[in-house]
């Protein structure tokens, strides 16, 4: 038995399914829209979701993808009155556990639900035994902003296959966390997740580290050694800083991506691998292609599926959840039951430029937690730490004049309320016409997504 969420826009159907499953011993919750279902799903993390395809505020297929990205263990059973092949295939591709049609057959509903609950518990027990693998809930991706919801949807769409993925974004935006979430949400989540930093190994050893080498391949190769591709097995190989990979190895990586075959350095036998490749970079690969420092064929092979991790300054509304997450983590590491922020601290954090993005926020919270003598992180402690961080963006020193400070503050407030000008004016305690004038004066506009 377990929690079951029933999502359908028809109240009669919700009530009948709820009564039927409650009699079978399940704890049943209901929702009538996509928005309500996602809110309930995040709080309940149910064993099973019975989800209608067509809902008044969106498609159940989109809700399916987002649910799978938030809590991949949950089993999603899709229901619909329309029996078309393409929708069924799409639902299963997006990770649906099963697909049943209206009018619902009681026996089919009971059996499918019971099987889904049992499958959930089996997966949960298997995950608990796998101590070496972090749970999806601990993967570190936090946020409810529109930008992050788009990321969750992309992860939900790509996690079910082995297509190569390119994750781009500034340093500290969480590219590796996104790669891990894709892996953890995939059918091969129990297989290895192997990380290879292309910038951390000297050029002469890169090929050997990536593809492995045979005994006697070079001086010091006293025995054969597997490379990262081989170690990844049927799992995921995460290539961080792919833009640092030398041109000669870019060609060999492209060959592997196309044929799933490679040869160890000094070897004579072709090796096979089914590992998925996820690459990440904070560099402009398109510019590197124009400058002929990155192969165009590898670039286009990787960018078929691209995920852009947004900088923290474009999702300031997530600072509340991110800060709470990092405070809980810091408190656990310090052996403290609970820590809180002094009033006004969150507003101060939202005024910071965050050139180091989420990683910088975590470092600041940890530093503040360590310096705090009690369970409260004080505003002056945060101020002293924030003052140590440079006020620069992309190498350009920010304007510290009164107008410059006002520009950044207004922009940050607009971002935090998703550019709701009425709400921003209330927070800033100015009239809406005044806010409009300042937006025009400072040439402010929402950042490109």
CATH value at residue 228: 3.40.50.300
- Of 275, 308, 341, the residue that ends a domain is 308
Residue 387 lies in a domain: no
Peptide bond into 307 cis (omega under 30): no
| Whether residue 246 is found in the same domain as residue 276 | yes
Nearest in space to 368 (alpha carbons), one of 387, 347, 355: 387
Taking a C-beta distance cutoff of 8 angstroms, is the pair 266, 279 a contact? no
Specify the residue for token string 């009239």: 431
The pLDDT assigned to 215 comes to 80
Nearest of 225, 128, 437 to residue 425 by alpha carbon? 437
Q: Are residues 184 and 113 in the same domain?
A: no
Extract the residue ranges of the chain whose pLDDT is less than 70. 1, 83-85, 126-140, 217, 219-222, 390-404, 447-449
Tokens representing 9 are 């826009």
Residue 215 lies in a domain: yes
The pLDDT score that the predictor gives to residue 208 is 87
Q: Flag whether 267 is in a domain.
A: yes
Name residues whose C-beta falls within 8 Å of residue 125's C-beta, 6 or more positions apart in sequence.
none
Strands 58-59 vs 54-55: parallel, antiparallel or unpaired: antiparallel
Specify the number of domains making up the chain.
2
Confidence at residue 302, expressed as pLDDT on a 0 to 100 scale: 93
Q: Does 101 share its domain with 171?
A: no
Q: Which of 327, 352, 330, 358 has its CA nearest to residue 342?
A: 327
In a domain, 413, yes or no: no
Among the listed residues 239, 211, 205, the one whose alpha carbon sits nearest the alpha carbon of residue 227: 211
| Same domain for 151 and 284 | yes
State residue 132's pLDDT score: 40
Q: Where among 308, 331, 355 does a domain terminate?
A: 308
User: Do both 78 and 186 map to the same domain?
Assistant: no
Residue 119 lies in a domain: yes
Based on the domain organization, do 96 and 201 belong to the same domain?
A: no
Whole-angstrom distance, CA of residue 39 vs CA of residue 36: 5
Beta bridge partners of 389: none
3-state secondary structure of 213: strand
* Pair 161, 247 in one domain: yes
Cis peptide before 407 (omega within 30 of 0): no
- What per-residue confidence (pLDDT) applies to 137? 39
Q: Which of 308, 327, 356 is the last residue of a domain?
A: 308
* Residue 16 sits in the same domain as residue 89: yes
Domain membership of residue 67 as a residue range: 3-129
Based on the domain organization, do 17 and 108 belong to the same domain?
yes
Strand locations in 127-275, DSSP E?
A: 165-168, 193-197, 236-240, 261-262, 271-272
What is the pTM for the complete model shown? 0.59
**Residue 198 burial by CB count (10 A; 0-12/13-18/19+): exposed, middle or buried?**
buried
Residues 367, 358: Cα–Cα separation, whole Å: 14
| Cα–Cα distance measured from residue 116 to residue 193, given in angstroms and rounded to the nearest whole number | 27
Domain co-membership, 92 together with 173: no
Q: Are residues 213 and 151 in the same domain?
A: yes
Q: What are phi and psi of 400, to 5 degrees?
A: -100, 10
pLDDT of residue 1: 64
């Amino acid at each position: 038995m377990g929690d079951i969420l029933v999502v359908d826009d028809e109240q009669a159907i919700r009530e009948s399914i709820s009564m039927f499953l409650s009699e079978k011993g399940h704890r049943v919750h209901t929702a009538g829209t996509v928005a309500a279902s996602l809110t309930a799903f995040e709080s309940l993390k149910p064993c099973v979701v019975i989800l209608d395809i067509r809902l008044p505020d969106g498609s159940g297929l989109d809700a399916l993808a987002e649910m799978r990205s938030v809590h991949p263990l949950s089993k999603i059973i899709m229901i619909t009155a329309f029996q078309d092949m393409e929708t069924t295939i799409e639902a299963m591709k997006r990770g649906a556990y099963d697909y049943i049609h209206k009018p619902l057959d009681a026996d089919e509903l009971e059996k499918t639900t019971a099987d889904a609950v049992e499958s959930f518990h089996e997966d949960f027990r298997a995950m608990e035994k796998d101590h070496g693998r972090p749970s999806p809930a601990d993967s570190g991706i936090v946020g409810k902003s529109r930008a992050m919801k788009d990321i969750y949807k992309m992860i939900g769409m790509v996690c079910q296959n082995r297509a190569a993925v390119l994750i781009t974004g500034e340093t500290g935006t969480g590219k590796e966390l996104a790669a891990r979430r894709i892996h953890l949400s995939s059918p091969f989540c129990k297989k290895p997740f192997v990380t290879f930093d292309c910038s951390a190994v000297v050029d002469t050893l890169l090929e050997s580290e990536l593809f492995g080498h045979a005994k006697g391949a070079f001086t010091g190769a006293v025995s054969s050694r597997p490379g990262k591709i081989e170690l990844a097995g049927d799992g995921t190989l995460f290539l961080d800083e792919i833009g640092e990979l030398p041109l000669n190895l870019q060609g060999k990586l492209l060959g592997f991506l196309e044929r799933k075959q490679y040869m160890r350095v000094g070897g004579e036998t072709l090796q096979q691998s089914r590992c998925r490749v996820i690459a990440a970079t904070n560099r402009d690969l398109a510019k590197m292609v124009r400058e002929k420092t990155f192969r165009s064929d590898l670039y286009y092979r990787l960018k078929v599926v691209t995920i852009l991790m947004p900088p923290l300054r474009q999702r300031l509304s997530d600072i509340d959840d991110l800060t709470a997450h990092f405070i809980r983590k810091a408190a656990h590491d310090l052996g403290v039951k609970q820590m809180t922020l002094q009033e006004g601290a969150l507003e101060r954090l939202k005024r910071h430029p965050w050139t180091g993005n989420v990683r910088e926020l975590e470092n600041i919270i940890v530093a503040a937690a360590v310096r705090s003598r009690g369970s409260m992180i004080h505003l002056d402690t945060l101020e002293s730490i924030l003052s140590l961080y440079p006020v620069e963006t992309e190498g350009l020193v920010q304007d510290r004049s009164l107008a410059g400070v006002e520009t950044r503050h207004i922009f940050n407030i607009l971002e935090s309320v998703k550019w709701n000008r009425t709400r921003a004016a209330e927070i800033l305690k100015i009239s809406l016409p005044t806010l409009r004038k300042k937006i025009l004066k400072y040439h402010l506009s929402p950042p490109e997504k």
